[in-house]
Amino acid sequence: MGYRIFDHTADLGVEVTGATLEELYAGAAFALFDLLTDLQTVRAGRSREIDVIGENPADLLVNFLRESLYAWNGEEFLTKSCLVREATPKRIKAVLRGEGFDPARHRIFQEIKAVTYHQCSVMERPEGGWVARVVFDV
């Protein structure tokens, strides 16, 4: 599981890889919060369940990351880790583990305003594994 940033005008593009769909989506959530804050300062004391659907794998990725981002933007919940319990081409069930934002301990690197459909893709690699691309509005 890993990610890399790719060049995108005015926004932040991320490419995520994973051996399985579950690992791919967990890696995408990790990338989102790793870019948002220093994950070493976040404790995994609380959990939040996510169950999302999508029309296709790319739509599902956007919906999943939007719901994960809402945990931060709407509830000030910082995710330390993500366990994807189920991943099909049209549904993800996952558990985010983390804690509420504490300004004395947590530093926000950059604001991520939204997850976009621009250049979003989820593809199975011919050699095995999965790769996804997504753009964050910053």
pLDDT in tens, 46-102: 999 999 999 999 999 999 999 999 999 999 999 999 999 999 989 999 999 999 999
**Torsion angles phi and psi, residue 93, rounded to 5:** -120, 125
- Is the confidence at residue 1, as pLDDT, over 70? no
In whole angstroms, what is the distance from residue 86 CA to residue 37 CA? 26
* pLDDT band, residue 7 (cuts 50/70/90): confident
In whole angstroms, what is the distance from residue 52 CA to residue 44 CA? 22
Two tokens, residue 35: 């870019």
pLDDT-above-90 percentage for the chain: 93
- Is the confidence at residue 32, as pLDDT, over 90? yes
* pLDDT band, residue 17 (cuts 50/70/90): very high
Is the domain spanning 2-137 CATH 3.90.1150.10? The answer is no
Residue 65: its pLDDT value, please?
98
Task: List the beta bridge partners of residue 138.
Answer: none
- Mean pLDDT over the full length of the chain: 95
What is the amino acid identity at position 20? T
Angle, in degrees to the nearest 10, between helices 21-36 and 57-73: 40
pLDDT in tens, 93-124: 999 999 999 999 999 999 999 999 999 999 99
Q: Where are the domains of the chain?
A: 2-137
Question: Which residues fall within 8 angstroms of residue 19, CB to CB, at 6 or more apart?
Answer: 1, 128, 129, 130
